[in-house]
């Protein structure tokens, strides 16, 4: 089948593709707010109808929360026989809340194409995360179907409606429908270009562990003039405990913390060095200049392939206006760990809690509250789909595509491996300034257009 004809169709149909995306963006599918439940249903219905128009057998599947959308284009319809791969594409149709509304330059669900000094952008909530990204794949399928009357291989589409609210229905749904969802490889479009210009396939994602602790001291707040110096101060105890989590070189001090942390391969380290990451600009953009963390690691290593322990919040005592000389009865903190390799979040939680308890002085006690946990995900680039996909991205963008890491956590990639025994390729076209989760979210028209063309090239390469 001719790829050139498909690419030409994508170029010619870009105005219509953009209008379809704007139509989907007008649906306020905010998953975390019950007031928008009907709108989440409406977004799922919109996608089912669109997928049926492309020749998929598509349906909206109920869950205890918002529905899943599942669609299939079967092998016997492709004409490629049993040799063609079975690909699964995952995206999510729900979006973040829009607060604070007064910081938006236009209504979040009145999307428009805007001219900016950097080029044309699609402005609106969900434009980049993730409606614009998921529509790049559907539009690639549309162009392929329009040009050839079929699709190049067996495809399953799996679209979620709760990604922005913790995905409470996702794992049960995947377990219950494992045989239907299982494919040769999963494709996930929820990432971006490296430094907004280099196409990338994410091959490692950090896991996440959240912990909250409360240090208890006296049974009530105390006057510091009467009790200061003689009574245990929970804030002082907490500060000492938190300070002890790192040594002077930036390493985390919990026993066994680094036991399951792998070293980068020489090939991956060389590829990352070749990206010429400008850490001075990266830090300068947020008013900083000197890399913190492990002193013997490069900034990219620390962001992508090294674990972290960060204090996300501390409170206790009097924090209002003015001054109050009080020794607080309690002190609180929230701590997050980003995990890599084979680090076990339950083992890290156990080590952290044991460390805190061992550091408590007499008359103090501690309560813990866990805030979720997920292991890291690492995809093997030895999977035969990875190199053809990387070549396809290089062809489209004119820049050598790279295997990269991601400092954040995208649990779905790990879930595909754990529950469906599938590797996942994370390929996205977002840019660093897309302002996802923030007011004035946008998706560059270049990202949308070349994203569609990229997926057409990936489908071509994976089905040769």
**Co-location of 64 and 186 in the same domain:** yes
In a domain, 301, yes or no: no
**Torsion of Cα atoms, 74 then 79 then 83 then 84, to 10°:** -60
Is the dihedral angle over the CA atoms 30, 35, 41, 47 positive or is it negative?
negative
Query: 157: helix, coil or strand?
Result: strand
In a domain, 347, yes or no: yes
Same domain, 220 and 345: yes
Relative to beta strand 200-205, strand 222-223 is unpaired
The residue length of the chain stands at 464
Q: Which residue has the tokens 């101060």?
A: 233
455 and 338 housed in the same domain: no
Residues 98 and 406 sit within 8 Å (Cβ to Cβ) = no
**Is 266 among the domain residues?**
no
Position 299 in a domain: no
pLDDT tens digits in sequence order for the chain, 464 residues long? 689 999 999 999 999 999 999 999 999 999 999 999 999 999 999 999 999 999 999 999 999 999 999 999 985 544 444 457 999 999 999 999 999 999 999 999 999 999 999 999 999 999 999 999 999 999 999 999 999 999 999 999 999 999 999 899 999 999 999 999 999 999 999 999 999 999 999 999 999 999 999 999 999 999 999 999 999 999 999 999 999 999 999 999 999 999 999 999 998 999 999 998 999 999 998 899 999 999 999 999 999 999 999 999 999 999 999 999 999 999 999 999 999 999 999 999 999 999 999 999 999 999 999 998 888 988 888 899 999 999 999 999 999 999 999 888 788 998 998 999 999 999 999 999 999 999 999 999 999 999 999 999 999 999 98
Nearest Cα neighbor of 198 from 278, 266, 125, 111 is 278
Residues 94 and 120 in one domain: yes
Closest CA to 198 of 447, 435, 382, 452: 447
> Same domain, yes or no, for 120 and 161?
yes
Q: What CATH number has the domain bearing residue 239?
A: 3.30.70.360
Q: Domain check: are 317 and 243 in the same one?
A: yes
Q: Establish if 83 belongs to a structural domain.
A: yes
**What are the C-alpha distances in Å from 74 to residues 28, 49, 151, 178, 180?**
32, 18, 9, 17, 12
Q: In angstroms, what CA-CA distances link 331 with 1, 235, 353?
A: 66, 5, 16
Buried b (16+ CB within 10 A) or exposed e, 288-321: eeebebbeebbbbbbbbbbbbbeeeeeebbeeee
Please check whether residues 232 and 108 belong to one and the same domain: no
Tally of domains in the chain:
2
Last residue of a domain, one of 352, 374, 396: 374
Residues 348 and 449 placed together within one structural domain of the fold: no
Of the residues 374, 402, 422, the one at which a domain ends: 374
Could you tell me if residue 285 is inside a domain?
Answer: no
In a domain, 335, yes or no: yes
Neighbouring CB atoms inside 10 A of 274's CB total 10
Of 438, 447, 433, the closest CA to residue 125 belongs to 438
Containing structural domain, residue 243: 207-261+307-374
Kindly give, in sequence order, each residue whose CB lies less than 8 Å from that of residue 372, ignoring residues fewer than 6 positions away. Answer: 166, 208, 209, 210
Co-location of 107 and 188 in the same domain: yes
Residues 141 and 228 in one domain: no
- 3-state DSSP call for residue 48? helix
Rounded to whole angstroms, the Cα distance separating 260 from 280 reads 30
**Are 217 and 356 found together in one domain?**
yes
Torsion of CA 193, 194, 197, 200, to 10 degrees: -60
pTM of the model: 0.85
Whether residues 360 and 407 share a domain: the answer is no
Residue 394 inside a domain? The answer is yes
- CA–CA dist 151, 145 (Å, integer): 6
Q: What is the CATH number of the domain that holds 159?
A: 3.40.630.10
Residues ≥6 apart with Cβ < 8 Å to 127? 21, 25, 111, 121, 434, 441, 442, 443
């Amino acid at each position: 089948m001719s790829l050139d004809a498909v690419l030409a169709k994508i170029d010619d149909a870009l105005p219509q593709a953009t209008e379809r995306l704007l139509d989907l963006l007008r649906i306020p599918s905010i998953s975390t707010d019950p007031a928008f439940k009907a709108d989440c249903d409406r977004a799922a219905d919109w996608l089912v109808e669109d997928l049926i128009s492309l020749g998929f057998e598509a349906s909206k599947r109920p869950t205890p929360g918002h529905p899943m959308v599942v669609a299939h284009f079967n092998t016997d319809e492709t004409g490629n026989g049993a040799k063609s791969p079975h690909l699964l594409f995952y995206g999510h149709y729900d979006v973040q809340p829009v607060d604070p509304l007064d910081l938006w330059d236009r209504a979040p669900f009145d999307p428009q194409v805007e001219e900016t000094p950097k080029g044309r952008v699609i402005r609106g909530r969900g434009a980049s995360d993730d409606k614009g990204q998921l529509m790049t794949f559907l539009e690639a399928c549309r162009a392929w179907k329009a040009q050839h009357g079929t699709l190049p291989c067996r495809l399953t589409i799996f679209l979620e409606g709760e990604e922005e609210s913790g995905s409470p229905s996702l794992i049960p749904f995947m377990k219950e429908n494992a045989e239907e969802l299982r494919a040769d490889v999963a494709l996930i479009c929820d990432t971006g270009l490296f430094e907004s210009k280099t196409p990338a396939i994410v091959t490692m994602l950090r896991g996440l562990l959240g912990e909250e602790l409360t240090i208890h001291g006296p049974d009530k707040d105390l006057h510091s003039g009467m009790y200061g110096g003689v009574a245990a101060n929970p804030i002082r105890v907490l500060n000492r405990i938190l300070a002890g989590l790192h040594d002077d070189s930036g390493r985390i001090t919990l026993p066994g913390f680094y036991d399951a942390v792998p070293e980068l391969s020489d090939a991956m380290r060389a590829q990352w060095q070749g990206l010429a990451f400008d850490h001075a600009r990266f830090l300068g953009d947020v008013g900083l200049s000197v890399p913190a963390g492990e002193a013997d690691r490069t900034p990219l290593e620390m962001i992508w392939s090294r674990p972290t322990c960060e204090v996300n919040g501390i409170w206790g005592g009097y924090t209002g206006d003015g001054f109050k000389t009080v020794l607080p009865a309690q002190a609180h903190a929230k701590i997050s760990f980003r995990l890599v390799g084979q680090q076990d979040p339950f083992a890290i939680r156990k080590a952290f809690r044991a460390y805190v308890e061992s550091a408590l002085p007499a008359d103090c006690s501690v309560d813990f509250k866990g805030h979720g946990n997920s292991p890291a995900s690492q995809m093997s680039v030895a999977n035969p789909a990875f190199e053809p996909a990387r070549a396809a991205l290089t062809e489209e963008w004119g820049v050598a595509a790279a295997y990269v890491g991601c400092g954040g956590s995208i649990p779905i990639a790990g879930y595909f491996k754990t529950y469906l025994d599938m590797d996942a390729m994370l390929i996205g076209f977002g840019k660093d300034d897309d302002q996802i989760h923030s007011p004035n979210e946008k998706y560059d028209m270049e990202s949308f257009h070349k994203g569609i063309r990229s997926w057409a090239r990936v489908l071509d390469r994976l089905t040769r």
